Amino acid sequence: MLKTERVNYILVRLQELYPRPPIPLSHRDPFTLLIAVLLSAQCTDERVNKVTPALFELADTPEKMAKKNVNTIRNIIKPCGLSPQKSKAIKHLSQILVATYGGIVPRDTMALESLPGVGHKTASVVMSQAFGVPTFPVDTHIHRLAQRWGLTSGKSVVQTERDLKRLFPEAYWNRLHLQIIYYGREYCTARGCDGRSCDICQTCYPNRRSAKKTRKA
């Protein structure tokens, strides 16, 4: 199967499986989404969704969060891991949002990436899911599947993102990002599929004889 054929098949199959993929992180607005995505680093969405209700009951705006003690924030978010760094980042970015942006999450990737604890992936998720701006955030699931499906050589997350943006029309990016994540969790898991088991892997590479090793970014 040629790469263009794989791309078209993947688009059709994922749309069949996940026609309206929901945003996995519970949130109310751009600020609560930003905090939830920050917390999801090296943590499952399920665990984040268990932690954020208590956190947002404590403070659900930059103004309120900026006034909270770092240790108070840390005690709530401990189950998410990396709580010392994340709690400091949450308080500091809240202070910056109040002082610099009038308490509003900026609709700008570079501005988001300048905030403490916010990297390119987090900024891209916020731009996509909060503001509807076409982006293609690459997480571990997307990085793994893009390699298994022959869409990138996957030497880095940056390269994987660039390759996927080149292959898929911009209008599909935001939805496709979520569709691949859900497929990677349900069918093409890290251990459950080695590049030969799930429907898309079998269809794209029916003659693959050995496991596809994933290059870690």
Tokens read off for 129:
């899911």
Q: What is the pLDDT, as a whole number, of residue 217?
A: 62
Low-confidence ranges of the chain (pLDDT < 50): none
Q: Is 215 exposed, middle or buried (0-12, 13-18, 19+ CB in 10 A)?
A: middle
What pLDDT digit, counting tens, does each position of 17-36 carry?
999 999 999 999 999 999 99
pLDDT value at residue 155: 81
Round to whole Å and give the CA distance between 41 and 90: 13
Q: Are 93 and 39 a contacting pair, CB within 8 Å?
A: no
pLDDT attached to residue 214: 78
Residues 6+ apart with CB under 8 A from 205: 1, 150, 195, 196, 212
Would you name the residues annotated as active-site residues?
121, 139
pLDDT in tens, 181-193: 999 999 999 899 9
- Identify the burial level of 68 via C-beta atoms within 10 angstroms of its C-beta, where 0-12 means exposed, 13-18 middle and 19 or more buried: middle
Res 154: pLDDT: 74
Distance set, CA 171 to CA 14, 168, 177, 196 (Å): 15, 8, 11, 29
Residue 49 confidence (pLDDT) = 98
CA angle 67, 71, 76 (to 5 degrees): 95
CA nearest neighbour of 142 among 191, 214, 49? 214
The per-residue pLDDT for 146 is 96
- Which residue ranges form the domains of the chain, and what is each CATH number? 3-21+136-204 (1.10.1670.10), 30-129 (1.10.340.30)
